[in-house]
Amino acid sequence: MSEKMKVGIVGYGNLGRGVEQAIRRNPDMELTAVFTRRDPKSLRIATQGVPVLHVDEASSYQDQIDVMILCGGSATDLPEMGPHFAGRFNTIDSFDTHARIPEYFAAMDAKALEGGKVSIISVGWDPGMFSLNRIYAQSILPQGSTYTFWGRGVSQGHSDALRRVPGVKNAIQYTVPIEKAMEAARSGSQPELSTREKHLRECYVVAEEGADKAEIERTIKTMPNYFSDYDTTVHFISEEELKRDHSKMPHGGFVIRSGETGQEGHKHVIEYSLKLDSNPEFTASVLVCYARAAVRMAKGEDKGAKSVFDVAPALLSMESPEELRAHLL
Amino acid sequence: MSEKMKVGIVGYGNLGRGVEQAIRRNPDMELTAVFTRRDPKSLRIATQGVPVLHVDEASSYQDQIDVMILCGGSATDLPEMGPHFAGRFNTIDSFDTHARIPEYFAAMDAKALEGGKVSIISVGWDPGMFSLNRIYAQSILPQGSTYTFWGRGVSQGHSDALRRVPGVKNAIQYTVPIEKAMEAARSGSQPELSTREKHLRECYVVAEEGADKAEIERTIKTMPNYFSDYDTTVHFISEEELKRDHSKMPHGGFVIRSGETGQEGHKHVIEYSLKLDSNPEFTASVLVCYARAAVRMAKGEDKGAKSVFDVAPALLSMESPEELRAHLL
């Protein structure tokens, strides 16, 4: 067996821990080091014998790490962390602020080209696997409609919005796709579906003692952008109930495209769905197989920023091209 | 707009007609010529002003055709037609004899490398889109089980087998996935499913006058490889009923992978499904977007035989990389 691929992790939150676990499930890879902005001594990682270092020490690892997986958030971490690491290392990240992808891509591309490295951005399931299913389905059926449904799963952004409401001590929000809308999307009739028709928002809220629950509920349900365009339900529960019943991180969703072909307009429906027990662990598993691709692309003298659209599927797999053709084609 | 991609079709059966229709739905392409082994005068195609020529005249079109879509069958046509066209043209085909793919790939690769062209083999939905979903899902979740279900749809091979039974005048066979098995695959429990548990076989048979129907049914149900390992039902119908109720070509199927991640073995289910009104038109639509990719790969100085595993998704789309990142990622 050839030498193992050497992987570094930057950031050790839920996603970083997921990446560590995913590396263990890929026998052609090993974890070389974890980098953190916290005091490295404060961190206990799951893998024995692997050093935990401050991010500032990363540059001395350039010759020892084949690919760095950047496990920071998109709001503030990655816009700074990404271009800092790109060009020094091959990198993978899960940048998911859709509106800022072109700008982030350009910044990463400049650095990666300069340093002769490969940086694959916006990897995960959306953006990521859902994006792939959109591009495949639209390329096959250019005349049609694509629908994306998310959930049932926790939205961090919406949960954070709940926690900012006065009188709210803690809260969690589930995005729930509406079955009737999914059935309409699957019917092939290409319906127009409004925001309200596609998803429900379910809120589980722990109120501060003495808070006005009616006022909290009103504030939530009328909050623009986050809740006012949806049918939103608010359930008041205790802190214990929140911990007991809502500490898991399940998620998932659906990409459905229906389109037509031929003179008679024959209808076709392509559907992709995910049902995930752990959102961060699944996202991490996607990052890790794209890390394999980044290393292979860089060895093939490719360079610059890439997205999942630029990566040939064979590069993701542990199996050889011959094995893939014989067993999976 | 840049010049249109010039496409040739070899073979004008159901698949060839589907390709002709799919080209019309892709405004960056145009049909240059249709090649046939029949008398070209006997063929009426749907597109006005496009020449129908004998296959022997194809070589004089080498400078006028960017990619040739080979619409022959896998049993006898493609093993001969494929290597004949590879190297002279960029080619796309839907070779689907799974056991012979490595051998066919090698033959196509030798010719394509020699001629400096790109030949993408085994394109369609299985092999094709289903293969892609297997490789993506297995790369993300290396520990898990993959299940493929086909149907409800017509199997040509099984319909042909029925027609060879003595006393059978005409017949059609539907492959039907069993809902209980699909639910088990989706449960994440990674069950072992037998052949009989996964699919039913539904046969609609027109018997010759005076034929022994009980004997026909017995022969079908005990036929090795085709029916004996399945729960098979046989319905005797009239020729008129066959024409009226069974002349469409719907198909579809499911690829389901369940796998686990992390120390706690969190479960995940990835599912891809197709529901197709017209099997040949959908297959043709896949061939046509891979034709675009073949031309782009050849322009990029790539050459040799490829499968869907080797094609970066961005190459399939009419949209530019910038548009794709802005709108689909």
pLDDT band per the 50, 70, 90 thresholds, residue A156: confident
**Residue A138 pLDDT more than 80?**
yes
Element (H, E) at B112: helix B101-115
What are the helix and strand counts (H, E) for chain A? 11, 14
Spatial CA neighbour of A273 closest among A287, A284, A257: A257
Per residue in B130-154, pLDDT (tens digit) is 999 999 999 999 999 999 999 999 9
Q: What is the pLDDT of residue A71?
A: 97
From chain A residues 126-165, the ones with a CB under 8 A of any chain B CB are: 127, 129, 131-136, 138-143
Rg (CA), chain B: 22
Q: What residues have CB less than 8 Å from B9, skipping those under 6 apart?
A: B16, B19, B20, B31, B33, B34, B35, B68, B69, B71
CA distance A296 to A86: 16
Residue of B nearest to A19 (CA): B262
Picking from A267, A272, A325, the nearest residue to B307 by CB comes out as: A325
A contact test, residue of B45, B120, B328 with most A CBs within 10 A: B328
Given CB atoms, is B7 within the 8 Å cutoff of chain A? no
Kindly list the residues from chain B whose CB atom is less than 8 angstroms away from the CB atom of residue A317: 135, 138-139, 309
Kindly list the residues from chain B whose CB atom is less than 8 angstroms away from the CB atom of residue A329: 98, 101, 122, 127, 131, 307-309
Given CB atoms, is A284 within the 8 Å cutoff of chain B? yes
Instruction: Report whether A54 contacts A40 (CB < 8 A).
Output: yes
Give the torsion sign (CA, A217, A220, A224, A225): negative
Q: What interface predicted TM-score (ipTM) does this complex get?
A: 0.96
From chain B residues 162-191, the ones with a CB under 8 A of any chain A CB are: 186, 188
DSSP per-residue string spanning A66-100: SEEEE---TTTHHHHHHHHHBTTB-EEE----GGG
Cross-chain Cβ contact A311/B312 below 8 Å: yes
Cross-chain Cβ contact B318/A142 below 8 Å: yes
Picking from B140, B273, B316, the nearest residue to A271 by CB comes out as: B273
Residue of B nearest to A325 (CA): B102
Q: What's the pTM value of the predicted model, to 2 decimals? A: 0.96
Kindly list the residues from chain B whose CB atom is less than 8 angstroms away from the CB atom of residue A289: 139-140
Spatial CA neighbour of A35 closest among A74, A76, A75, A91: A91
- The overall average pLDDT reported for chain A is 96
From chain B residues 26-85, the ones with a CB under 8 A of any chain A CB are: 26, 46
Given CB atoms, is A301 within the 8 Å cutoff of chain B? no
Per residue in B26-49, pLDDT (tens digit) is 999 999 999 999 999 999 999 999
Spatial CA neighbour of A187 closest among A133, A147, A143: A147
Reading chain B (329 residues) residue by residue, the pLDDT tens digits are 569 999 999 999 999 999 999 999 999 999 999 999 999 999 999 999 999 999 999 999 999 999 999 999 998 999 999 999 999 999 999 999 999 999 999 999 999 999 999 999 999 999 999 999 999 999 999 999 999 999 999 998 899 999 999 999 999 999 999 999 999 999 999 999 999 999 999 999 999 999 999 999 999 999 999 999 999 999 999 999 999 999 988 999 999 999 999 999 999 999 999 999 999 999 999 999 999 999 999 999 899 999 999 999 999 999 999 999 999 99
Instruction: Report whether A46 contacts A102 (CB < 8 A).
Output: no
Cross-chain Cβ contact B281/A262 below 8 Å: yes
CA distances from residue B209 to A89, A120, A314, B170 in whole angstroms, order as listed: 76, 66, 54, 12
Q: Which residues pair with A33 in a beta bridge?
A: A8
**Residue A1 pLDDT more than 80?**
no
Per residue in B191-202, pLDDT (tens digit) is 999 999 999 999
C-alpha atoms less than 13 angstroms from C-alpha of B250 in its C-beta half-sphere: 14
Determine the distance in angstroms separating the CA of A312 from the nearest CA of chain B, rounded to an integer: 4
Determine the distance in angstroms separating the CA of B120 from the nearest CA of chain A, rounded to an integer: 12
